[in-house]
Amino acid sequence: MPLIAAANLRKTYRLGRVDVPVLRGVEISVEPGEFVAILGASGSGKSTLLHLLGALDRPDRGDPAPSIRYRDEELVGRSASTLDQYRTTQVGFVFQFYHLLPELTTLENVLLGAMIAQGRLRFTASRAEHVRHATNLLERVGLGHRLRHRPTELSGGERQRAALARALMNAPPLVLADEPTGNLDRVTGAKILDLFSEMHRQGQTIVVVTHDEATAERAQRVLRLVDGQMVKA
Amino acid sequence: MYHALLTRKYLTTKIMPLLASLAVMLCTGMVIVVWSVMGGFLRHLVDSGRSLVGDVVVDWPNVGFPHYDELIRRLEARPEIEAASPAIVSYALCVLPDGRKEMVMIRGIDGASFERVTGFDRALYWKPTTEPARRDTKREDPRLNPQYAGVLNNVFEAGRTLTVPAPGGVRVPAVVPGIEVTGYSRRSPLGFYSTGFGRLSPPDAAGGERWGEVFTPKDVSLTLHCVPVDSKGNILDVVSRTFPVANEFQTGVYEVDRKTVLVEFAELQRLLKMDAAGAIDAATRPGTVGVGPDGRESFVLPNVVGVSPARATTVYVRGKGEVGNAEELKAIVTEVYTKFAVDHPDAPAAGIIGIGTWRDQNRMMIAAVEKETGLVLILFSFISVTAVFLVLAIFWSMVAEKTKDIGILRALGASRSGVAWLWIRYGLAIGVVGALGGGTLAYFVVTNINEIHEWIGQTTGTFVWDPRVYYFSEIPARFKWFDASIVVVAGVLSSGIGAFVPALRAARLDPVRALRFE
């Protein structure tokens, strides 16, 4: 059974008076432990697809009805709180521009996911354990010496590694990465991809969207998104 | 948990929330200071008003009631009552040495018992003192001068007894006018009174006048023209009497200090024909003509058939302990008077005699100041509503600035309500910081308001609180913790309200758009 499978995904954005269709009935299926790259040019709808898979956005209704099944559960049409819970516990996001909170230290940024997932009482009760786990993750991505630094004090590569650690904080079965190397130089980007490969080897399911062929090549399977539709690579 | 972390971080790393806190602090502090000053002003007025009436007043104006001394004995026998004192309250035309004529309220008081009821000695102005007025840094108040201590002690004693020494070693009745009555005592901008240069006689036939330095208790006599009323309420002929001034009193309430003259009780009683006198047979009232043993007509001497008891118009009563129980005291006085009236049918019935608290006596004045206090508070509260909009405006722009953060939180699984609560909590935190800061600031200002006023005055040369206008030498501020707590809580809630709309906006943000926000 696939970890996540989507069908008939359509999404249209309205720009002024013009409707711009971004996704036109996309289908995708990702097996547990797979490392999938979705390759597409800028504006092809790959980020939109990632947002739909991560329940940050909802697909357009239509016929045939859109479907996003996570494990055996349909996500389309579920309540906001169910989708919040899904994002908290099942999905880890990695963004092109890192999206770390600038006021928080590296460690606090990583802990943030656990704080949201656990709630005040549970987090406080096992705070030391969470801090230890977050520290381990940051050491794993090579930031053990940067725990108390703010994002502005980190390099681009370090920020992305911190974002990766944050994505893994709640041990989500699925990691969704949006152009994770898009804002990094080639060498730094390669190091990030090494981390992805290592995670994949340890059984992590990863979906990466990218416009970069080299990045896509690091994946186990490559899908192409052209004009809002999935084509075989 | 993330709410607490982010609230703390946002509060400590941004200038905008500090500005919002500052706005809340200033608004909260302003309202507390205004409330404290107006409250202190009211309290001062009430205390000043009480200084001449005690806690409860039994009053039968003009005519007066008999057996008041027995009523006083009965009242003082009650454990709840500290003391009671008789008085006569009437009106007189007061003629000043320079010929000016003023309508004044005259109060006949018994110095010793009046002091026990009202603390009258404190109100006597001319007496030696060691504490200068706050602004009198050079100690220019003549009462501070040890050289005058002997004179002032004599004048003080004269004021207490309402008598002055006369040749032959006797003391003669005197009056104690309010310090604004004669106009001879001049109030200095520094907050104390001193002797004044004034006219001491009206122009004579040749147009000559006598001018000089006037120390009212030594140089001034007042002539009172008053109208006695007999026990039946009949108006008798006008009587006049000139009294030396023994001292002056100051309550701090202009209307009282301007329009009241205190006279020795027994003397005023005699003057107004309210003292004890023989009661005559109506058939032999003065002017009755009869035929004598010699067969000639002649006036018949009145036939004295008893005694018409002395009368007082008023009895002032002071309760034991705090005056907060004035209403209870009034009930006790009413109970005592009811029995008294049953035993004395010639006294006014309990249902018609006036028995009121000091608050009842000063109802108009207190009500006016209370309304002014309420009005000023409402006005300042309206002004403080700007803090709500300030917080709203600041939060609105902060939500815009933090749009991406909101998107990140939503991506990490934060719910809409969680994001909304983050901002409301943030607003409340700003309110707590600002309101507590405002409360602290207000406490500092209120407890040092006169020093601050003094410093501003000396620095800028402008004294906002002019004692010549307000008749208080100091700003009568009074910090009340309960009132301040109300304002602080209101400040916190206002900030929460100000944050509410931006919080809703944050919660409704589309997370995808928020993440793409640049």
Model ipTM? 0.88
Output the domain CATH number for residue A97.
3.40.50.300
Q: Do A108 and B414 lie within an 8 Å CB cutoff?
A: no
Q: Do A89 and B413 lie within an 8 Å CB cutoff?
A: yes
- Measured CA to CA, the distance from residue B167 to residue B450 in angstroms comes to 47
Domain endpoint, select from B334, B361, B388:
B361
Together in a domain, B30 and B117: no
Q: Are A130 and A166 in contact (CB under 8 A)?
A: no
A3: helix, strand or coil: coil
- Measured CA to CA, the distance from residue B280 to residue B115 in angstroms comes to 37
Together in a domain, B15 and B91: no
| List of chain A residues whose C-beta atoms are within 8 Å of the C-beta of residue B414 | 84, 116
Establish if A10 belongs to a structural domain: no
**Is the Cβ of B425 closer than 8 Å to some Cβ of chain A?**
no
CA angle B340, B117, B65 (to 5 degrees): 35
Q: Do B407 and A99 lie within an 8 Å CB cutoff?
A: yes
Domain range for B124 is 54-284+296-361
Establish if B329 belongs to a structural domain: yes
Domain endpoint, select from B361, B386, B410:
B361
Establish if A216 belongs to a structural domain: yes
| List of chain B residues whose C-beta atoms are within 8 Å of the C-beta of residue A88 | 412-413
Q: Do B411 and A101 lie within an 8 Å CB cutoff?
A: no
Digit-coded pLDDT (tens) for A55-87:
999 999 988 899 999 998 999 989 988 999 999
| Closest by Cβ to B1, choosing from A48, A81, A124 | A124
Instruction: Return the percent helix, strand and coil in chain A, to nearest 5.
Output: 40, 25, 35
Together in a domain, B344 and B405: no
pTM over 0.90: no
Q: Read off φ and ψ for residue B298, nearest 5 degrees.
A: -155, 165
Least trusted range by pLDDT, from B45-49, B134-138, B256-260, B262-266: B45-49
Establish if A119 belongs to a structural domain: yes
Axis crossing angle, helix B15-50 with helix B481-508, rounded to the nearest 10: 150
Looking at CA atoms only, how far is residue A121 from chain B in angstroms?
8
pLDDT in single tens digits along all 233 residues of chain A = 889 999 999 999 888 888 888 999 999 999 999 999 999 988 888 899 999 999 999 999 988 899 999 998 999 989 988 999 999 999 999 988 888 998 899 999 999 989 998 888 888 888 999 999 999 989 988 888 989 999 999 988 899 889 989 998 988 999 999 988 888 888 888 888 888 898 899 999 999 999 988 889 989 999 999 988 888 65
Torsion of CA B209, B211, B216, B221, to 10 degrees: -20
Together in a domain, B274 and B200: yes
Establish if B289 belongs to a structural domain: no
- Measured CA to CA, the distance from residue A140 to residue A195 in angstroms comes to 9
Q: Are B84 and B68 in contact (CB under 8 A)?
A: no
Count H helices and E strands in chain B, helices first: 18, 21
Q: Read off φ and ψ for residue A216, nearest 5 degrees.
A: -60, -35
Establish if B228 belongs to a structural domain: yes
| Closest by Cβ to A116, choosing from B2, B4, B407 | B2
| Closest by Cβ to A88, choosing from B1, B404, B413 | B413
Together in a domain, B134 and B264: yes
Q: Which of A113-127, B1-15, B367-381 has the highest mean pLDDT?
A: A113-127
Together in a domain, B34 and B183: no
Together in a domain, B24 and B105: no
- Measured CA to CA, the distance from residue B22 to residue B431 in angstroms comes to 10
| List of chain A residues whose C-beta atoms are within 8 Å of the C-beta of residue B413 | 84-89, 113, 116-117
Establish if A230 belongs to a structural domain: no
Q: Do A54 and B411 lie within an 8 Å CB cutoff?
A: yes
Together in a domain, B122 and B62: yes
Number of domains in chain A: 1
**Is the Cβ of B4 closer than 8 Å to some Cβ of chain A?**
yes
Together in a domain, B233 and B351: yes
CA angle B24, B29, B30 (to 5 degrees): 100
Q: Read off φ and ψ for residue A184, nearest 5 degrees.
A: -120, 155
Write out the E strands in B38-178.
Answer: 56-59, 65-66, 81-95, 101-109, 163-166, 170-173, 175-177
| List of chain A residues whose C-beta atoms are within 8 Å of the C-beta of residue B405 | 101
- Measured CA to CA, the distance from residue B73 to residue B70 in angstroms comes to 5
Number of domains in chain B: 2
